[in-house]
Amino acid sequence: MKDSNFLKEKNARSFWHPMAHPADSLANPPTIVTGARGVRISDVDGHEVVDAVGGLWNVNLGFSCAPVKAAIAQQLEALPYYSTFRGTTNDAVIELSEELREFFAPDGLERAFYTSGGSDSVETALRLARQYHKIRGDAGRTKFLSLKKGYHGTHFGGASVNGNANFRTQYEPLMPGCYHIPAPYAYRNPFGETDPEKLSQLCLQALADEIAFQGAETIAALIMEPVLGAGGVIVPHENFMPGVREICSKHGILLIADEVITAFGRTGSWTGSRHWGVQPDLMCTAKAITNGYFPFGAVMIAGHVAETFEKDTTGRASIGHGYTYSGHPVGAAAALACLAETKRLKVNENAAARGAELYAGVRAMADKHALVGDVRGGQGLMCALELVSDRAAKTPIDKSTIGKVQEAAYQSGAMIRVSGPNVILSPPLVLTSDDVQTILTAVDAGLSAVA
Ligand code: PMP
């Protein structure tokens, strides 16, 4: 066994973690994960737990997906890299594009533009949205709308449409021309409205008001997650996303669905947009597209948007955007194998069934633990418990206490994620009912530890 204290010291002196204070890795050394199998991870000290985070909402098929590992190994042997910039392509990415086109056909999406991850996908979608309007001679449409509490990655474009100050304040000034409307977040919202349907209407009205205020002719696109993930698993009322679609269509504003988390089955449907009966103009994907085994993403493009680019005669449609790793053959091979396994195992169905068990279990915890202010989820395998130190005042729990919840849950059998005052659960979609029980027991123990 490796010496864990020595590794933790080395980690602290040589490595800065994303989304963490650089000094924190000495004060609160991270768990050193050294292995994984199925839906479980094990650490350097030999402790094994169910991974209720699912990597980072991406390891949908678990850690032992042999076909994906084999596809990666084979592709590395045959062609480890080549660029897809104009002039060259590769067979893996051609085949993947055909498969994705079929998979996303019900969403009206017909072309793929490849990226290296979610933030790249968001950046790509924002750029393509502006370019779409320029091609059409509508160059005044440059602004973006998004939801407060939304998360869209950390590039400057994505951070600008991000709806959480933690990812913005230290990096301002961000991109001008980005405006945020209230999210349909029933537990806390500026309207004091707790009824989901009424709240949805109020948020849609706020959107319509913002468009009138800005002038529709200045707005390129609205970006939203069908279920808000990192912001704390906010599941909108069923009228919300269709309402957004209707308003965007009425005003010529493109709708970008950020499905970096929700595409490929997490919500119980194959995509979050499909779940709400909405066809977006652009869709950002990443994460589960390769089950987390390779950094990769794709922006899917609606037929009418593709046509605008492809039929352009003005010369404005040439795409001055792309990444060294766009269409990476190893990523493409991983994605192809992943998609085949995702469909074969019908992981969306297991996400819906196990998600219902998990949600029922965490809801029951709200009755037992005064610490639980709100429980959200119920749409596939993603849940959040928002913890408070005072239920009546809805005072968010402090960082140290929620850290203790996480530690106790880990000791009791599950890795959970904490983000602000939220415990977030997003396990692999292939977990069993027994695994769900293990997670619930661990969360319960975590909450009991600080009660
Ligand atoms: N969009 C959404 C909705 C996300 O959840 C994330 C990542 N959690 C991103 C974009 C950014 O993805 P990445 O971390 O791969 O850049």
Q: How confident is the model at residue 263 (pLDDT cuts 50, 70, 90)?
A: very high
The residue to mutate among 59, 151, 419, having the most atoms of ligand 1 within 8 angstroms of its beta carbon, is: 151
% of the chain surpassing 70 pLDDT: 100
How far does the centroid of ligand 1 lie from the alpha carbon of residue 128, in Å? 18
- Measured from the Cβ of residue 319, the count of other Cβ atoms closer than 10 Å reads 12
CA atoms within 13 A on the CB side of 219: 28
- Would you say the CB of residue 117 lies under 6 angstroms from ligand 1? yes
**Domain co-membership, 332 together with 408:** no
Q: Report the number of distinct structural domains present in the chain.
A: 3
The reply to whether 295 and 202 lie within a common domain is yes
DSSP strand E in 232-303: where? Answer: 254-258, 282-285, 297-302
Assess whether 305 and 379 both reside in one domain. no
Q: Are residues 134 and 242 in the same domain?
A: yes
Give 258 Cα–ligand 1 centroid separation in angstroms.
Answer: 8
CATH number at residue 232: 3.40.640.10
- Range of 71's domain? 67-344
Tell me how far apart the alpha carbons of residues 36 and 292 are, in angstroms, rounded to a whole number.
13
Residues 76 and 158 in one domain: yes
Residues 4 and 46 occupy one common structural domain: no
**Which domain-ending residue is among 324, 344, 364?**
344
Give the model's confidence band at 136: pLDDT under 50 very low, under 70 low, under 90 confident, else very high: very high
Give the percent of the chain with pLDDT over 90.
95
User: What pLDDT does residue 2 have?
Assistant: 65
The mean pLDDT value of the chain amounts to 97
More confident call, 12 vs 373: 373
Ligand 1 closest atom vs CA 119: 16
State yes or no: pLDDT of 112 exceeds 70.
yes
Of the ranges 5-9, 84-88, 128-132, 436-440, which one carries the lowest mean pLDDT score? 5-9
Where helices occur in 28-90 by DSSP H, the ranges are: 54-57, 66-78
Let me know whether 91 and 143 are in one domain: yes
pLDDT in tens, 427-450: 999 999 999 999 999 999 999 999
pLDDT in the model for residue 1: 52
pLDDT band at 317 (very low <50, low <70, confident <90, very high): very high
- What CATH number is associated with residue 438? 3.90.1150.10
For residues 339 and 350, membership in a common domain is answered with no
Structure confidence at residue 37 (pLDDT):
98
3-state SS, residue 232: coil
Is the same domain home to 357 and 230?
A: no
Top pLDDT among 400 and 451 is at 400
> pTM to 2 decimals?
0.98
- At which of 344, 363, 382 does a domain end? 344
Domain shared by 128 and 20, yes or no = no
If one residue of 122, 160, 166, 419 were mutated to test the ligand 1 pocket, choosing by the most ligand atoms within 8 A of its CB, it would be 122
> Same domain for 137 and 209?
yes
Ligand 1 pocket residue status of 147, Cβ below 6 Å: no
Tell whether the model's pLDDT for residue 422 goes beyond 90: yes
| Least trusted range by pLDDT, from 4-8, 39-43, 88-92, 168-172 | 4-8
What is the 392 CA–ligand 1 centroid distance (Å)?
Answer: 33
> 282 and 400 share a domain?
no
Of the residues 287, 310, 344, the one at which a domain ends = 344
3-state secondary structure of 304: helix
